[in-house]
Structure 1
Amino acid sequence: VRTILLSLNKYGVIIKKFIAKFHLENFKQTGKHFVTSLFQINATTNKISWIFLRIMLVFVTLGITGFNAIPLYNNYKADVFSSEKNSDLKYEFSIYYKFPGFDIVDHFTLSTIYSIYLSVNCGAYVSSIDLFLILMMFQMVAHLRALQGSLNNLSILDDRPLEEIDSNLTPVLKMFNDEENNRIHQRLQAVIDHHRFIVNFAGEISSFFGP
């Protein structure tokens, strides 16, 4: 049932938006304070995603192998593959299906190969949906970490000239002028827009995949 998601237009829209707009690779030109932490966050997220992908591939391979190996082993134990077959043989298949004029027992080898093909395709479809969803979750967490870094760097005191007070160099403390107020406003607006962007994308995922 879950594979039906791949045929829905909304699923394609979400995946396209994720790759073309939401992925961290698209946010490398958003400002020096954000980019400084973005590269490290992006590298960490990519590494975690890479490890998780390998783990998922192992589990999918084990699942498909076990799903098809058990009926094959039972058929082998029952001498189904023997040249001399008894009339009371009980065939086992990983997937049972029936077409008009086609009996899977009469076409045992072909049906077995087709069952393996179907299970591999089903595993690939389902795992791809899960992997994309998990990757989007990883990227969402990374966006929140980057957003936190942006909030921590809203101050413009680092851009001010330094003065010596009690043998210590500290930024000049005075009222913000119009230019500095405008810079703070721009940084704060960027943070708000980024937060709104994250919330909107999270809402799309939640409404499509469900709670």
Structure 2
Amino acid sequence: MLLSFKDDSRSPDIQKPQNFQYMKILRFNLKIICAWPEKQLNEIRSLGHSIHRVILPIQSVVCLACGILYIHFHFNEIPFFILASTFITVMMNLVTCSRTALVMLFERYLVLTGRFITVMHLFNFQKNSDYAYKLCTFVNRMSHFYTLYVLFSMFMGLGLFNLLPLYNNYVSGAFSDPYGPNVTFFHSVYFAFPFDYSHNFRGYIIMALFNSYVSVTCSIGLVMFDLLMCLMVMHVWGHLKILSHNLINFPRPKASHVITTPNGPTNVETYTEEESKEVFARLRECIKHYGTVDDFANDMSETFGVILLVYYGFHQVSLCMLLLECSDLSTKAMLRYGPLTLIMIQQLIQISIIFELLGSVADRIPDAVYQLPWECMDVKNRRVVYGFLRRTQNPVRFKAMGMLDVGVQTMASILKTSISYFVMLRTVAT
């Protein structure tokens, strides 16, 4: 059922955006990290969820601090490749902490997410026209399959990342004599905890269970947050496509009349008084629609600006280390870090391309406004078109902290720099 798209937006079963299958998946995962806007959607928060909302930020800070302390205490004791692996998990915790802080400390995130669902989701605009319905169906279909792809990638990376240490413990014989004096247990993540979890079986069990839980919440914080931003951008893209279509197909005057000029009789198209009223109403609707989209995009930039900057910094550093881990070319390294590296790269590429596609559509809006039949309008409507044209000269764009463009160029710079750093670290490691 999940692999096929059967959510018709005009079906009686679809009464609100939350009824779509991909929105249910998003809701389920965001509730795990307390990032679903329950208050804004008038949903009841359970007692368990309220308790988890208190525990989650404490867990994020403790994991980050203990990861940093582990590196500090064992910097000169552990091999370089294990040290790089620990750096990667610490940076993942840092990204997760930044997103947890956004959810817990800033109400505007929940307001923005609630606004996306109740206002900006294309389901709320599908009845405006046949084209709006077709585009709503298209965007929902793309959102559905993209969500499934992201979910599959997350499960694959999460499974390999946690199961490989279990396999290593089995191969090394740690489970055959778990209480032996020379046994050493491998873990997916290492923290500076006040008990021995590398040589003590009970400590290993506690640590393995804790790592499984932390891995799930961290993966959701990384992947599902990106999914939320991408879904928002997809729907903003859909709004701009609808607006562009409405502008390009703006109705011209129904009739023309002949006027006398020095060069002879000329056919002139002008709107009648009644048509001018309709033109003004259409222009007002287009301007209102553009203003809604522009305001939402600006709020997105302000809300996600910091975490996008942290996210790009994370990719800049982690990709070179992941490539370094994979450069060992051993089966263990490729199984554990190969999928994780591919997932990180594809996440960076996908989110950058999606934001870039939005920019390409936004760049066409000023041209679509200029193509309006303004020469057929009266002075009042021409002034409206002029004001609209001036407003669209600053297209809808996303910037991290208002200074770093989110798009393909930034992605290419990160990939290029990461490969350069990888070559340097590979030289140091060998």
Question: What band does the TM-score fall into relative to the shorter chain?
Answer: 0.7 to 0.9
CA distance in 2, matches of 1:41, 1:28: 8
Cross-structure match for 2:343: none
Residue type at the aligned position of 1:104: Y
Distance 1:187 1:112, change over 3 A: same
Structure 2 unaligned segments of length 5 or more: list them: 1-94, 256-267, 306-399, 401-430
2:190 is aligned with 1:190: no
CA distance in 1, matches of 2:215, 2:178: 29
Correspondences of 1:99-178 after superposition (within 5 Å): 99-100=193-194, 102-105=195-198, 106=200, 107-155=203-251, 157=253, 160=254, 175-178=270-273
SS at the partner of 2:300?
Answer: helix
Residue type at the aligned position of 1:6: V
Percent identity over paired residues: 28
Residue type at the aligned position of 2:241: R
Q: TM-score, normalised by structure 2?
A: 0.42
How far residue 116 of structure 1 moved from its aligned partner, in angstroms, is 1.1
Structure 1 unaligned segments of length 5 or more: list them: 162-172
Cross-structure match for 1:6: 103
Cross-structure match for 1:164: none
Task: Report the structure number with the largest CA radius of gyration.
Answer: 1
Which digits, 9 at most, give the CA deviation of each residue in 1:29-61, with x for residues without a partner? 44xxxx121011000001111111111011101
Correspondences of 1:66-77 after superposition (within 5 Å): 66-77=160-171
Correspondences of 1:1-40 after superposition (within 5 Å): 1-2=95-96, 3-4=99-100, 5-7=102-104, 8-30=106-128, 35-40=129-134
- Asked whether the equivalents of residues 42 and 142 of structure 1 are also in contact (C-alpha less than 8 Å), the reply is yes
Distance 1:15 1:140, change over 3 A: same
How far residue 198 of structure 1 moved from its aligned partner, in angstroms, is 0.9
SS at the partner of 1:144?
Answer: helix
Moved more, 56-65 or 103-112: 103-112
SS at the partner of 1:112?
Answer: helix
Correspondences of 1:40-79 after superposition (within 5 Å): 40-79=134-173
How far residue 176 of structure 1 moved from its aligned partner, in angstroms, is 2.4
Relative contact order higher in (CA < 8 Å, ≥ 6 apart): 1
CA distance in 2, matches of 1:84, 1:15: 48
SS at the partner of 2:215?
Answer: helix
* Large movers: runs of 4+ above 4 Å: none
SS at the partner of 2:303?
Answer: helix
Residue type at the aligned position of 1:140: V
How far residue 89 of structure 1 moved from its aligned partner, in angstroms, is 2.2
Distance 1:196 1:84, change over 3 A: closer
What do you get for the CA RMSD once the two structures are aligned? 2.0
Distance 1:18 1:84, change over 3 A: closer
Matched residue count: 193
CA distance in 2, matches of 1:130, 1:27: 24
Moved more, 2-11 or 185-194: 2-11
